[in-house]
Amino acid sequence: MKPVFHPDIEDVAPADVFGALADPIRLGILVALSDLNDVDRARCSHFTAFASPSLLSYHFAKLREAGITRMRVEGTSRYLSIRREELNQRFPGLIDSVIETARRDPNLPRLGPEWLSGGEQAQGQTSSR
């Protein structure tokens, strides 16, 4: 499997980053990734409530191409995470205040509690559905 393109963090311009943040769905994804205590627990399919699969693919690509997220391929699944260390090295403090700002926005799409809590339980459907 071809392992997805990620830009070198030094090639990312501030305007590109802000462009990628200029959308409620993408801000929702970013907050959700942050809520997942980060690394590699977020499969793309966790976000089906946010938008259709093809639209999600589009938004994932935007975030990735702007240097904000990393995507790890494993089988037919993809795992997302925020490129925290690199972002903090290149734009110190920025990503945290962005996430903090987005987290306070009540109009962003949010992850259901079934994905949040610990992350260790079996991931079958929850009662109501």
Partner DNA sequence: TTCGAAATTCAATGATCGTTGAATTAAGCC
Partner DNA sequence: GGCTTAATTCAACGATCATTGAATTTCGAA
* Contact residues: DNA, CB under 7 A: 1, 19, 22-23, 25, 43-45, 51-62, 71, 75-78
Q: Which of 55, 117, 99, 44 is nearest to 77 (CA)?
A: 44
**Contact between 4 and a second copy per CB under 8 A:** no
Q: The tokens of 84 are what? A: 């925290």
**Percent of the chain that is helix, strand, coil (3-state, to 5):** 45, 10, 40
Q: Tokens 């559905």 belong to which residue?
A: 129
**Residue 60: HSE in the Cβ half-sphere, 13 Å Cα cutoff:** 25
* Residue with smaller CB distance to a second copy, 26 or 70: 26
* Residue with smaller CB distance to DNA, 49 or 88: 49
Sheet containing 77-82, strands listed edge to edge, beginning at the edge strand earlier in sequence: 42-43, 77-82, 69-74
Q: Are 44 and 80 in contact, with CB atoms under 8 Å apart?
A: yes
Site string for a second copy, 39-78 (x = CB under 8 A): ----------------------------------------
* Residue with smaller CB distance to a second copy, 55 or 73: 55
Binding region for a second copy (CB under 8 A) out of 20-28, 46-54, 75-83, 121-129: 20-28
**Contact between 19 and a second copy per CB under 8 A:** yes
Residues engaged in binding a second copy (CB under 8 A): 13-19, 21-24, 27, 91-94, 97-98, 100-102, 104-105, 107
